[in-house]
Chains A and B, each alone.
Chain A
Amino acid sequence: MNFKKIKNLALDGLVKQNPTFKLVLGTCPTLALTTAATSSFGMGIAVTAVLIFSNIIISLLRNIIPDKVRIPCFIVIIATFVTIVELAMNKFLPDLYDSLGVFLPLIVVNCLILGRAEAFASKNPVLDSALDGLFMGLGFTAALTLMGIVRELLSSASIFGIQLWDPTVFSIKFFGSSAGAFLTYGVFIALFTVCYNAIENKARRASAQKALAKEAE
């Protein structure tokens, strides 16, 4: 695998097809768990681990799994890894396990994971699938953590549990609520889209100018 391919996969997962801000996948944990940066980061890492391992196994078995039962097979494989992540988190990170609550087992039905299994891992080789899982997971983790930081800062005046100032002096509790989650999510999608379009237009203009310059020569 060449560097360009890895770069493309990384750009796809982190920016071009960012699962949270671009594809709007996995919205349930995005809205519910971003009240704190720690739980957002924890959920992102859990999803990344499941994505990587399920993509690897699905890619390995892609020529064996019959087309008619591919979805049940994917679900069984994904559920297995989610359960393993759940068991490991309960054993080694009990506080995080408690804070993620029901959303941890619900990773099984996260459409991001099933979506990548169906759209990518079942059609591509193992290494590509693993990298796709890694970068998609990192994109998801980055988006969740960013939202978690902003919401925690505004609603509790802290980041990753570290108190920055007295919340009674200034805090907006609204951002800790469900409605605050929707508003934050909407603002982030808008900002992401504006920035993404600006960069893409700039790149498009640059390549058009390059092409014109070439023609002029």
Chain B
Amino acid sequence: MTKSNFFLEAVQTISVLVIICLVCGALLAVCNQLLYVSDAEKFDRAMQKIYPDFVSDGDHKVDPAFQSNSMYGNIKAVYPSKDGAYVIEAVGIGGYKGTVTLYVVVGGDAIIKAWTIKESQGETLLSNFSDKQYKSWYVGKEISTDFDYKTENFYIAGTTMTSNAIANAVKMASYYCMNALGLGENPELEAKTATLALLGDAYSAYELSAPIALTAMVDASNSLASVWSTADNSIAYYFTGTGDNGDIQAFVYGEKDNYTIVVTSGNGEVVAKTDNASDDLVAKVTAGKLVQVAVNNKAMFAYISANEQGVYTVAGIKTTELPKTYVLTVTVSEANGAGVVDSISIVTSGYIPGGPSQDNTDKLATSLVGATSATIDGIYTGEVASGATQSGNLITTAVKAVLADFDSNLANNG
């Protein structure tokens, strides 16, 4: 074949392929325009299937204050019905390769009437099951943010992550209904209100955080909820807040109408407490401290259980399945007006056998010696052992929390 023949053939071949692609693309564009299913149509179809009684009762603007929640997901739209029910389009996080969006129908009596999946990111095994096998989950129950899909058996083996996202979407819808629409009981709001009432006018401008899931945070002694619970009292809510009077942490025990509340300042001093708070309980909440830090742009938690003259015992808290919690002893001293890590020893290793070399994981700890609050992120990025990201995150979390605490104490004590 001559050079010109080869060139001609190549041009012809490419041209045919390009033309076919262009024609097919144009055809698909036309078909997409003709056959597009709008959101309104999708909504009508879903209602026809799950709640034929729906009759639109105007528009509802989603309240931005309760539109999203870091634990559950977010709200895309709310459709009020003339019979007093609401259809909530809620996105649940924590699914298989993404989120799951549901339409959840909540009646005016705060009972979940029906729900259906609008869309699911990532193909899931759940699509292989018929509606009968899972659409009865949550139906007939009162809205709640405490649904546990595992104990209530609202999952199918093999679809655990999607079932988790569905649970989160239902919780998100419940959260919105309770807070923005005033449906059902709202113990979380009541706990917050009781805490702010206890604090008085000096803290009236404070806004308390959403409750932090202490039961999901496992430290070396099981869970943080158990660390802060006494024989008589189980912790119900843990809120944080910040304002002109500094950071505060609120520990709320018991149930509605009989809350026991202890509020501490950022450095562990009791700011306010209810009369029924026992000395044992106060000792518990002031013995340790939960510190939130950002590691690799993620909100992470560490629990400082002891600090004796710069020698900290600190746990990087497990919030996911792997790895286990790391507990470290970290010694910090002052240099140039800031805390510097002198030594780190691992008390409880979160290393999982079968993971990357434990030596490599442990190197992460020693590499942080000499770090300050200003330099720790750079050190971590440079020294992270491939395959040990989660361990690295926990160790860094613990050390960052210690440095932040030391620097804060330094600033407070001049």
Taking CB atoms, residues of chain B closer than 8 Å to A88 are 31, 35
Residues 81-101 of chain A, each 1 if its beta carbon lies under 8 Å from chain B, else 0 = 001100110110010001001
A66-B9, A101-B127 given as contacts; is B17 within 8 A of A73 (CB)? Answer: yes
| A214 CB within 8 Å of chain B | no
- Taking chain A's interface residues, is the majority helix, strand, or loop, or is none over half, making it mixed? helix
| A193 CB within 8 Å of chain B | no
* Shortest distance between the CB of B37 and any CB in chain A (Å): 6
Q: Are B24 and A69 closer than 8 Å at their CB atoms?
A: no
Considering the complex, give the chain B residue whose CB is closest to the CB of A156.
B130
Inter-chain CA distance A2–B149, complex, in Å, is 64
A77-B24, A83-B28, A87-B31 given as contacts; is B127 within 8 A of A98 (CB)? Answer: yes
Other-chain contact of B28, A61, A68, A73, A80 (Cβ < 8 Å):
A80
| A102 CB within 8 Å of chain B | yes
Q: Are B16 and A69 closer than 8 Å at their CB atoms?
A: yes
A76-B24, A80-B27, A101-B127 given as contacts; is B32 within 8 A of A87 (CB)? Answer: yes
Q: Are A101 and B123 closer than 8 Å at their CB atoms?
A: yes
| A65 CB within 8 Å of chain B | yes
Other-chain contact of A90, B9, B27, B35, B123 (Cβ < 8 Å):
B35
Taking CB atoms, residues of chain B closer than 8 Å to A83 are 28, 31
Considering the complex, give the chain A residue whose CB is closest to the CB of B14.
A69
A80-B28, A90-B35, A91-B35 given as contacts; is B127 within 8 A of A72 (CB)? Answer: no
Q: Are A66 and B20 closer than 8 Å at their CB atoms?
A: no
Taking CB atoms, residues of chain B closer than 8 Å to A77 are 20, 24
A: interface residue count bin: 20 to 34
Taking CB atoms, residues of chain B closer than 8 Å to A79 are 24
Taking CB atoms, residues of chain B closer than 8 Å to A66 are 9, 12-13, 16
Q: Are B17 and A69 closer than 8 Å at their CB atoms?
A: yes
Residues 113-153 of chain B, each 1 if its beta carbon lies under 8 Å from chain A, else 0 = 00000000001000110000000000000000000000000
B: interface residue count bin: 20 to 34
> Which residues of A42-81 are within 8 A (CB) of B?
61, 64-66, 68-69, 72-73, 76-77, 79-80
* Shortest distance between the CB of B134 and any CB in chain A (Å): 14
Taking CB atoms, residues of chain A closer than 8 Å to B14 are 69
Q: Are A73 and B16 closer than 8 Å at their CB atoms?
A: yes
Considering the complex, give the chain A residue whose CB is closest to the CB of B42.
A94
Inter-chain CA distance A25–B123, complex, in Å, is 24
Considering the complex, give the chain A residue whose CB is closest to the CB of B32.
A87
Q: Are A94 and B35 closer than 8 Å at their CB atoms?
A: no
Taking CB atoms, residues of chain B closer than 8 Å to A84 are 27-28, 31, 35
Other-chain contact of B16, A32, A64, A80 (Cβ < 8 Å):
A64
Other-chain contact of B127, A80, A94, A102 (Cβ < 8 Å):
A102
| B45 CB within 8 Å of chain A | yes
| B306 CB within 8 Å of chain A | no
| B21 CB within 8 Å of chain A | yes
Taking CB atoms, residues of chain A closer than 8 Å to B12 are 66
Considering the complex, give the chain A residue whose CB is closest to the CB of B126.
A101
Q: Are A72 and B123 closer than 8 Å at their CB atoms?
A: no
A83-B31, A91-B37 given as contacts; is B20 within 8 A of A101 (CB)? Answer: no
Taking CB atoms, residues of chain A closer than 8 Å to B17 are 69, 72-73, 76
A66-B12, A68-B13, A83-B31 given as contacts; is B37 within 8 A of A76 (CB)? Answer: no
Residues 1-17 of chain B, each 1 if its beta carbon lies under 8 Å from chain A, else 0 = 00000000100111011
A-B contact pairs, 5 of them (CB 8 A): A65-B16, A66-B13, A91-B37, A98-B127, A101-B123
For the complex of A and B, list the 5 residue pairs with the smallest distance between their C-beta atoms, beginning with the closest.
Answer: A80-B24, A87-B35, A101-B127, A91-B35, A66-B13
